[in-house]
Structure 1
């Protein structure tokens, strides 16, 4: 799949997860250093918001937008995944008042398993993934232009249909 960053084109080496597939399992740590796996999010629909770098403008907008939405949806799991360090994630969340679950893809295994890892930039590209209550992929959208905001409404509409 081709993506671009401010017009510069790149090719993702893998295929992003597809709708209807069982989501690959993962192990990532949250801000409390608790290891989270796919099983921790089953039982509720889950939005996985993947951002390349939490301290950049579009990543901040995306994370804040879903943090606001999640506050109104207790029946939905909301997770942001980035390749940022714990310190970077924690400092940003503290300064912005963001309380959602933040997971670190430190070893890039999540990005590789989900087909989102861009080796040339050493980060997971921008994407929105919605999982049903059993961890099956109900929606996936990889942003073709990483420097643009994703379609929040499309992901939220899918989540609402799963509630």
Structure 2
């Protein structure tokens, strides 16, 4: 897409979760679960799409934005915006050059829905380790399959 691409907005409703996952260091480490807000929004948008959670941003609650250049800097992140819009619209017309704002809006709504899923899960989980909580969420919803490295030999009888 070559038109003037809009910034990607997120709702302030989830700012506590955004800061917890993308700004605060994980307990006992020097790393963050999501090194950038862009990466968190991409994760949230995919989760929102997978869960069928497309939630319009309530602008009366306030929004924060991420410069579109942050997405352009990572072609896979920029492509994800258009991929989600295409999957949602089920029509290639959504990818027309003058439709950047529509693609951004669709991405934002799925990211908003995904942030809602994450917040609900973290509130229920109550754990101090959001990385572990998100892994449990992904396993419970069937998005992540964990294969045991060693077979459980205790369950074998002769």
* Structure number with higher strand proportion: 1
* Structure number with higher helix proportion: 2
Query: Looking at CA atoms only, which structure, 1 or 2, has the larger radius of gyration?
Result: 2
**Which TM-score applies when normalising by structure 1?**
0.28
